[in-house]
Amino acid sequence: MKAFLILEDGTVFEGKSIGSTKEVISEIVFNTSMTGYLEVLTDPSYAGQAVVMTYPLIGNYGITPDMESEKPWPDGYIVRELSRIPSNFRCEGTIQDFLKKHDIPGICGIDTRALTKRLREKGTMNGMITTNEHYNLDEIIPRLHEYSTGDVVSKVTCEETKVLRATGKKVALLDLGAKNNIAKSLHDRGCEVTIYPAHTKAEEILSANPDGIMLSNGPGDPKECTDIIAEVKKLYESDVPIFAICLGHQLMALANGADTYKMKYGHRGGNHPVKDLETNRVYISSQNHGYVVDTTTLDEKVATPAFVNVNDGTNEGLKYTGKNIFTVQFHPEACPGPRDSDYLFDRFIDMMGGTK
């Protein structure tokens, strides 16, 4: 069955339908990872977006247990070529069946290089995936311009508090759209991890006397999270060590008077170099974000840059002055992606007093 990707600038790509045949409007973004497509599909940070995979062949090892949440989150999935016969000893099915099961539409057989170039040149755009061959651009374009991801954090966060038992440090993880491996990375280091829904009050978290607090990754515009920002400010004002990544990093900055802005096309992939400004070492990182902290709005009495993106110079982390708080824009748990920066979990445990 034919399928069409229609961008808000009027560009139309024709391909073949995969997954669900429902019509969807979403923000179109691209990911440059060469492996880890299942982790990308199940990353809650993609809620409200349709993902273009730049690697030309997707699905060659099928669906495996490498899930970062219980279900996929993107609104749509766009690939050049989809493997029809996956081969892996852990394979449990095909991507096309996985997309159908979860009612996610997709399109294959389009020139993803041309699409990615257009998104890089013009910036991230909204788009529609449809199987309707009689589409009307005059009706569709205004709808694309009006689309907004809205409050997607409420959509992806857990519904109730849950605990991963252990005998080490007690960590409170605020789930803003957390991937499974964040809690696992802490639990593997002996931490007892209590996972809280995104709208949990700071008082409830602090009343449990955690040794440390972690703010997770998540989707959407950080400025939409006004209620959460107010609670993050209360967490900042406590003396509890805090480690925040991605959306959590942005919310901590907003809570302390800094600003964020939307990037032209964002960072999404497993190959982004970041420089630690304290050691001058460069690490390859996994990233998924379309917004960034504006360092020109930082009060140096509150926080100073700790990491910078080597490619474009944007901020990749902050160290908070006089506080046991550090935050990074990238994903140190590396699912998918390199493990270069997982030492940051060890730094966080040291901030809490070490493993003893």
Residues 6+ apart with CB under 8 A from 148: none
Residue 245, pLDDT > 80, answer yes
Q: Does 158 lie in the same domain as 293?
A: yes
Assigned domain for 22 exists: yes
Whole-prediction pTM: 0.96
> In this predicted structure, which of 89-103, 131-145, 216-230, 332-346 has the lowest mean pLDDT?
332-346
What pLDDT does residue 167 have? 93
331 belongs to the catalytic site: yes
Q: Does 209 lie in the same domain as 329?
A: yes
pLDDT digits (tens, 9 = 90+) for 30-48: 999 998 999 999 999 999 9
Assigned domain for 263 exists: yes
The tally of domains found in the chain comes to 2
Report residue 317's pLDDT band, with 50, 70 and 90 as the boundaries. Answer: very high
Give the CA distances from residue 290 to residues 8, 13, 49, 61, 316, in Å, rounded to whole numbers and listed in that order: 18, 23, 11, 28, 12
Which of 146, 175, 204 is a domain's end point?
146
What pLDDT does residue 336 have? 76
Report residue 356's pLDDT band, with 50, 70 and 90 as the boundaries. Answer: low
Q: Does 304 lie in the same domain as 231?
A: yes
| Mean pLDDT to the nearest integer, 218-222 | 97
Say whether the peptide bond before residue 44 is cis (omega within 30 degrees of 0).
Answer: no
Q: Does 164 lie in the same domain as 34?
A: no
Residue 354, pLDDT > 80, answer no
Q: Which of 108, 191, 225, 246 is catalytic?
A: 246
Q: Does 296 lie in the same domain as 172?
A: yes
Q: Does 132 lie in the same domain as 160?
A: no
Beta bridge partners of 209: none
Express as a percent the part of the chain with pLDDT over 70: 99
d(CA 240, CA 91): 43
Assigned domain for 356 exists: no
Q: Does 164 lie in the same domain as 55?
A: no
> In this predicted structure, which of 3-12, 105-114, 334-343 has the lowest mean pLDDT?
334-343
Residue 355, pLDDT > 80, answer no
Domain that holds residue 347: 153-351
Residue 150 is encoded by which pair of tokens? 């809205």
Mean of the per-residue pLDDT values of the chain: 96
pLDDT digits (tens, 9 = 90+) for 78-100: 999 999 899 999 999 999 999 99
pLDDT digits (tens, 9 = 90+) for 91-138: 999 999 999 999 999 999 999 999 999 999 999 999 999 999 999 999
Express as a percent the part of the chain with pLDDT over 90: 94
Which of 146, 161, 181 is a domain's end point?
146
Report residue 234's pLDDT band, with 50, 70 and 90 as the boundaries. Answer: very high
What pLDDT does residue 66 have? 86
Assigned domain for 98 exists: yes
- Pick out the residues of the known binding site for L-glutamine: 45, 218, 220, 247, 250, 288, 290-291
pLDDT digits (tens, 9 = 90+) for 131-169: 999 999 999 999 999 999 999 999 999 999 999 999 999
225 belongs to the catalytic site: no
d(CA 281, CA 275): 6
d(CA 335, CA 342): 11
- Pick out the residues of the known binding site: 45, 218, 220, 247, 250, 288, 290-291
Q: Does 189 lie in the same domain as 115?
A: no
Residues 6+ apart with CB under 8 A from 132: 4, 23
| Mean pLDDT to the nearest integer, 246-274 | 97
What pLDDT does residue 28 have? 98
Residue 273, pLDDT > 60, answer yes
Residue 227, pLDDT > 60, answer yes
Which of 146, 167, 191 is a domain's end point?
146
d(CA 313, CA 303): 18
Question: Is residue 180 within 8 Å of 250, Cβ to Cβ?
Answer: no
